Amino acid sequence: MKSIVVSAALLAVAGMAFAEPSCNVPKEKWMPEAQFKKQVEEQGYKIKTFKVNKGNCYEVYGEKDGKKVEHWFSPDTGAQVTK
């Protein structure tokens, strides 16, 4: 019985580690995709992949300062958000 409880707890923690952030912003307030991409590129990002995640945040895969990145941004301000 203890092993079942421990296993369930570990699965819950693992699920939280892979959870993406949520951005609760009405779509009518979202920055246009082209404007957002320009803003992020001006900050030094090289965008390989851009998408909207399940939590309605802009998600960028690419590079910054020579390092691979996966970052989420608020679609209205372009500010980076964390998990």
* Average pLDDT, 10 consecutive residues per value, the chain (83 residues): 48 55 96 97 97 97 97 97 88
Contact 48/33 with Cβ under 8 angstroms? no
pLDDT of residue 83: 80
Q: Could you tell me if residue 49 is inside a domain? A: yes
The pTM for the full model equals 0.76
Residues spanned by the domain of 71: 22-81
- List of E strands, 1-75: 45-52, 58-64, 67-73
Q: Could you tell me if residue 5 is inside a domain? A: no
Q: Could you tell me if residue 28 is inside a domain? A: yes
Number of domains the chain contains: 1
Q: Could you tell me if residue 52 is inside a domain? A: yes
CA–CA gap between residue 59 and residue 80 (Å, rounded): 10
Q: Which two tokens stand for residue 57?
A: 């945040």
